[in-house]
Homo-oligomer: A and B are copies of this chain.
Amino acid sequence: MKYGYTGKILRVDLTNEKISVEEQNDIFYRRYVGGEGIVAYYLLKELRAGVDPLSPENKLIFAAGPLTGVAIPGAGRNSVGAKSPLTGGFGEAEVGGHWGAELKHAGFDAIVIDGKAKEPVYLWIHDDEVKLMNASHLWGKVTGEVQEILHKELNDKLIRIAQIGPGGENLVKYACVINDLRNAAGRSGMGAVMGSKNLKAIAVRGHNKSEVHNKEKLREMTKLFNENYFKRLYDSFEFGTGGDYMEYSSSTGNLPTRNFRDGEFVNVKALEPRTIKETIGLEKDSCYACPVRCKKVIKIGDPWNVDASYGGPEYETLGALGSNCGIDNVEAVCKANELCNMYSLDTISTGVSIGFAMECYERGILTDKDTNGMKLNFGNAEAMVQTVELIGKREGIGNLLAEGVKRISEKLGKETENFAIHVKGMEIPMHEPRLKQGLGVGYAISPIGADHMANMHDDSISHTKVMIYHGALGILEPVPMNDIGPQKIRALVYYMNWRNLFNSLLMCYFISWRYNDIANIVNAVTGWGTSMWELMKVGERVTTMGRVFNIREGLTFKDDWLPQRFFQPPTSGALSQTALDEGELKNALQLYYGMMGWNEEGVPTNVKLEELEIGWAVNL
């Protein structure tokens, strides 16, 4: 009995319509754990170097972790991975909701998908019954329609669906995979890979929970959560993510505004989740087994008509489609969010691509001819919403914007490079690297491109109580936000590894579990008797595997860099005198490489791979 796991990995060969089950041994599970670790394992082991991410040869992996589907707060997540069409490197995203739990309950730890279906199909997993089903009638439909049809067709409203909308079908480079209509495996363009395989959806219904080793201990941990963490956490999410933070974020210079050009967004109050609650009204929703309820649900009538089933905008979305496009019309942002979830578009990349286009438009690099007459100025809410839909449909200007900032910039010319806000082709999320400078280094270095999911927030180690909160990670002294010297980079290294562990265990980062709690939870679930040492080494292993993958695909240390814009201050706000320094960033990257056991060109040494027990990845 593999506690915490089903022990079964589903293999689906779409080209040959073959379905099989693979079993891995205990060591495999303990070494790679789940989620991002399993994704990294299969991509490195089985993918030929240099495959076109949108070709049948790419593999698309859905992976749960030992905690997915376990009845404990934060454990409702799964991971989706493939070679990224956006970056050409390691692609992976995590997502909450209920789908991952359902997959585990159906009896699978992961699904590895090969090839390409001749016609659109969906995968139907009903406990151990697994079938490929014709999806011609679903193709072209938005996610909500698909869910309605499948619930009816399979006659069960509790079926959970991971799927793509037309954005994925149309191979929008940053298309995402949507779970339960309102949860996105957002980054890296996993939805485009799914679309390239003619796979519209994976519908799952499961009835068996995987065995937990020590239920008593797990209850104890839930009690600890309820008594010590819950109230503060629940209250902090009174308005969902970004609640009461937007104004502060803008005042500190953290909130990306008008394509990261301006340092503050004067009308930010309009975007505050508190304002949303007071003006539009706000319900909340949760992931599997989680009492925190951090997810907004919003319903808006005429003229925007936002359907509540698609949820509401997260902080990242409020930033990307709001302030970053200069937009203070929160209803429009909610509509754009709904459209992203209908079409399966990553809201961050969508918003940053539109913000970039807006700047190009204002500079006259894009013209009315390109936009078919649409005034694509910063702050034009109607144009923003319309553009989202055009991207999903790849129509008009949307066809260009669907390529992502890097390719748009290549198309529009070198003059746009300085303000093309991406790393390795992935658009930068909604925390300002000129403020949180360690996070900025994290953007530059992360295997998937500018990433907020396995990164640090400098503010969390800048306060005097850092030893109480982060001592267990070995961080004993506060480090200022704008410091990217050895102490900060050391913290970044440890944090990123820890977060990549989270993305493998599949635990939500919002839950306030302390470091040792996680080891206790993993032990309660798996019976491993693991420690934070072993878990940190898993995180380091996973980070390193992503790096090795990228190197095999031809990415180099030169791709670890930030857009030129960040070496100048923003036009206004708290950071109007603050910019990154190229020499400091270079130095910080060298520190990161060295601390990770990578050589000066950022290549993990063979001996480091041996130490991490991935010696098999030497000379892959």
Contact = CB atoms under 8 A, between A and B. Distances in A.
Interface of A: 26-27, 30-31, 467-468, 471-474, 476-477, 486-487, 490, 493, 514-516, 519, 528-537, 590-591, 594-595, 597, 605-608, 610-611, 613, 615
A530 B472 contact: yes
A351 B575 CA distance: 70
A611 B532 contact: no
Given A467-B30, A471-B30, A532 B529 contact: no
User: What are the 5 tightest A-B residue pairs by CB atom distance, in nearest-first order?
Assistant: A594-B607, A486-B610, A531-B532, A472-B531, A532-B533
A27 to B, nearest CB: 5
A459 to B, nearest CB: 21
Contacts of A515: 531, 533
22 contacts: A27-B467, A27-B477, A471-B534, A472-B529, A472-B531, A472-B534, A473-B534, A474-B533, A474-B537, A474-B613, A486-B611, A490-B610, A490-B611, A490-B613, A519-B531, A519-B532, A531-B531, A531-B533, A533-B533, A594-B610, A594-B611, A595-B611
Nearest to A514: B529
A532 B474 CA distance: 10
A608 B594 CA distance: 7
Contact of A610 (B31, B519, B595): B595
Contacts of A590: 607
A526 to B, nearest CB: 10
A594 B609 CA distance: 10
A477 B25 CA distance: 12
Nearest to A469: B529
Contact of A530 (B31, B471, B486, B591): B471
A534 B146 CA distance: 49
A607 B595 CA distance: 6
Nearest to A486: B610
A519 B514 CA distance: 15
Contacts of A31: 476
A432 to B, nearest CB: 26
Nearest to A607: B594
A81 to B, nearest CB: 23
A519 B472 CA distance: 10
A514 B515 CA distance: 19
Contacts of A534: 471-474, 532
B532 A468 contact: no
A471 B607 contact: no
A490 B607 CA distance: 10
Contacts of A595: 607-608, 610-611
Contacts of A532: 519, 531-534
A535 to B, nearest CB: 8
Chain B CB count within 10 A is highest, among A487, A528, A535, A610, for A610
A74 B613 CA distance: 33
Given A30-B467, A528-B471, A531-B515, A605 B594 contact: yes
A532 B530 CA distance: 10
A105 B575 CA distance: 54
